[in-house]
Amino acid sequence: MHGYVTEIDFDERERDKGEVMRQWLNGNEYDGIRDFLDDLVHADVPDSPPPEPEAPPEPEEPPEPEEPEPTAKAFYGMIAAAKKPLYEGAAISQLDAISQCLADKSRYNTTRAGFEASLKTTECRGVRLSHIPEHSRKSNDNVKARVDVEILCDREKLHMKHPIGRQNNWFKPHANFFLDSIQKEAFRWLKYVVMFPDGYCSNMSKGVNLSTGKVTRLKSHDYHIWIQRLMPVILRGYIPEKVWRVFVPLSHFFRTLCAKQICPKDIAKLQHTVSELLCNLEMIFPPGLFTPMAHLIVHLANEALLGGPVQFCWQFCIEREFKYIRKITGNKAKIEACIAEEICLREMADAATTYYPDDAPTQHNPVTRYNVDVPENDPKLQLFQFPGGKTGKGTKYKSENEEKDCIMLYVLMNMKEVVPFVTEQYEQRQGRLGELA
């Protein structure tokens, strides 16, 4: 142990521990400090009396249990019920499941309605979202939808399956209307191969996600092209024939409804068959897919009979005008005045630009999108006359026999200058056949 240092006459020196103790004790009366020093530093003090042994405390009688209050009694009962297994054979309790749901709510920032739905799902089947591998919360075919299928529908193949053997997770059977990772390669054709005429639709390849196999972020008109033209072609061969034959009438329904010319008899037939179409869709997809917007399909045929072709009822031009109006309203406090002022200025500019010379680029005479070409270099055949000129140096390309046959068939079917030669060839062949007969 370190030596003690004392201060005497402003001089510091080290002393032995025993000497310091004796000097301190000789100058003070016994007031219990000896017992304190004996216990603390185990000093040798001969005059200290031996400590008396303490008597063992008498055992106290346990207090009688009090009857809990009604509120506390209900709380204890609720805790005891929550500690029971979530379902028969489960390793977790209901309290653990609710705690996990609260953690998921905080982690994924779930709304109150979504949280209550997850609690209801937990009570119905004992399924937690974290127990489902590769679960997509943004899909309509989720755990809640499969529970609804088990409660409302008679499709045992789509029910949630219990863990088997050493598995700890519930698993969701594969639905026949979903594509696996290999079948999703069909969207690669839509992203890299499909091309549309200028002005027919926007660039659909921007909305194709090859990793998820989804087509998103398209405009309303592009979704019409998808459901009317592309969906039956792309999905054929990748989904069961029974499911594909339900998608084809759906595509035909919208294609007939959105045609430039509609026949009242055809629309009346669609009105009778659309109910059967929705029933077939309900036999394939989960109930959560059929929102009020899906059931509005029943009324579309009647609306077409009352209003005529849909081109006169579409909201695309109105929505485009709303977008322009939102852009020009700088003062949100006086929206009507901003709109009126901007429209007046636009009408004045339109009226003034009509008197500009033809070579001045205006709204009535916009700059062409194509390269300006010399008219002398334009091809003489009408089939190959397109606006614009060359953008660069041409490259040589050797076409295959199949491509040559396709080009020849396209020329014979679409070029007006070839019609007289085709007619003459047809008459000569008919004459030869008559001579042989």
Distances in whole angstroms, Cα of residue 218 to Cα of each of 50, 85, 199: 95, 47, 15
In angstroms, how far is CA 29 from the centroid of its own chain? 86
Give the domain ranges of the chain: 4-41, 88-175, 183-312, 330-374
Mean pLDDT highest for which of 22-31, 154-163, 175-184, 228-237?
A: 228-237
- Greater confidence (417 vs 98) lies with 417
The 10s digit of each residue's pLDDT in 57-69 is 777 776 777 777 7
Handedness of CA 306, 271, 309, 291 (dihedral sign): positive
- Greater confidence (300 vs 81) lies with 300
The pLDDT value given to residue 5: 45
Q: What is the mean pLDDT of the chain?
A: 75
d(CA 256, CA 259): 5
Average the pLDDT over 361-365 and give the result.
80
Write down the residue that tokens 């990748």 correspond to: 238
The pLDDT value given to residue 433: 72
- Greater confidence (212 vs 134) lies with 212
pLDDT at 264 over 80: yes
| 259-262: Cβ within 8 A, 24+ apart | 259/309, 260/309, 260/311, 261/309, 262/304, 262/308, 262/309
The 10s digit of each residue's pLDDT in 73-101 is 777 877 777 777 766 656 677 777 777 77
Average the pLDDT over 212-227 and give the result.
83
| 268-271: Cβ within 8 A, 24+ apart | 268/301, 268/305, 270/301, 271/301, 271/302, 271/305
Contact 176, 240 (CB under 8 A): yes
Handedness of CA 125, 126, 127, 128 (dihedral sign): positive
Question: Which amino acid is located at 209 in the chain?
Answer: N
pLDDT at 326 over 70: yes
- Greater confidence (157 vs 349) lies with 349
pLDDT at 178 over 80: no
d(CA 437, CA 421): 25
Contact 388, 370 (CB under 8 A): yes
Least confident stretch, 47-61, 270-284, 341-355, 359-373? 47-61
Average the pLDDT over 310-321 and give the result.
83
